[in-house]
Copies of this chain bind each other. A is one copy, B any other.
Amino acid sequence: MSEYKVKVVVRLKSVVLDPQGKTVLSALRNLGFSQVQDTRVSKFIEMDVKGDNPAIVKEQVEQMCSKLLANPVIEDYEIEVME
């Protein structure tokens, strides 16, 4: 059994308003960064997970996302298992 580094991005769905992103955008504009067009703020979770192979680890992390890490009504997630 080996240990894998897993990266998970939990994003608000694109149809859902992102007030934190809008606040960051207007703060950046106020600081003079007029070249910024849009910002979205998401959660980024890095984990060390033990498992037999990357496919099994990815499946388990998918369960973690749907049970705890993401709210499937308003959020999407993306999982990357590093070898």
A64 at the binding interface (Cβ < 8 Å): yes
Smallest CB–CB gap between A54 and chain B, Å?
A: 13
- Minimum CB–CB distance from A15 to chain B (whole Å) comes to 16
Q: Which A35-50 residues have a C-beta within 8 angstroms of B?
A: 35-50
How would residues 14 to 39 of chain A score, 1 for a CB under 8 Å from any chain B CB and 0 otherwise? 00000001001001100101011111
Q: Are B43 and A48 in contact (CB under 8 A)?
A: no
Among candidates B36, B46, B57, B67, residue contacting A49 with C-beta atoms closer than 8 Å: B36
Question: Which positions in A face B, CB cutoff 8 Å?
Answer: 3, 9, 11, 21, 24, 27-28, 31, 33, 35-51, 57, 60, 63-64, 67-69
